[in-house]
Structure 1
């Protein structure tokens, strides 16, 4: 069994999830095709070279050159959106309205209004919806969560987390042209750090000041 799905549940499920993967750079970094309950039904990217990369990565022959075409495929149950952050909201809304379950790369949206619209769409469609925050699944986070649930920390009244993500500057330009990441406000993208805390406390962000500090009742700025 692959270590990537060693802790998965219901490995004998009779229905396999047929997923469409959108985004041929980051979207090619995962192992959906290795999970026993998942079939990569189709892939999509606007660029032919990235579509080819996705097809090779997931051994998938079906490819679409646009998301709206992929969403019309009746064989697809769910989509994984690995598209630019500025497109997450509109892509998520389109996918939900097309009747697909959605898994997408962080962040949720670029504005509070986008987040509200996604919440309303999730509630109205009843589809499964998940933000793929990798920090939740890091071994250190898993261990801390286990210790917290076992009460091994005693009474926790404060906690802080830090996530260092060097090297992103190489993604600011491609072929001499700025990408969507260039000029992005850093704290529109705090999910990696915040998730380390909310994952084990179950609390939610209450204020948006820095640095992030968790105290009983929620994350606050201090």
Structure 2
């Protein structure tokens, strides 16, 4: 451990004094989630993809830029026995919803800035081949510590929670989002209300 660094929880990767594990649920919706995270995001202090996957039994986090390095996942995403869909607001994306297709469903999310998410899509032909779905417009992010590219841009955990809530009525979205809410509140508390108001409030 580098000198001066704080010991961290091995499960949630937060400093031990700010561990979020007691808030992380273990939910098991029928839809499987695969989160493909750009490597630059892996060490980000506000890593919502990690919290999303930790809260779902039926979810996987893959940190990579190229799926060519993960042939097993290329095979899974090519499996016609699964309904694989990419949650990405492309021009041809249709609104996510429940359908009559009885195949097991897997939703793929890209974690990174918009530029990095587009790069992940560009670099991976298997992702380009998947049907794209999007969330309904008009959603508002609770991520109060970033400047969003547009009003309804959501963090990865928020996007996953909204998608699962839509596909599975009664899904416990608030339980999944609880560690995220605590993470944001803790960051705001640490920086102080005045600094938060000065640097972030006007960016929403």
TM-score, length-scaled by structure 1: 0.29
Higher relative contact order (CA 8 A, sep 6+): 2
TM-score, length-scaled by structure 2: 0.31
Decide which structure has the larger Cα Rg and report it.
1
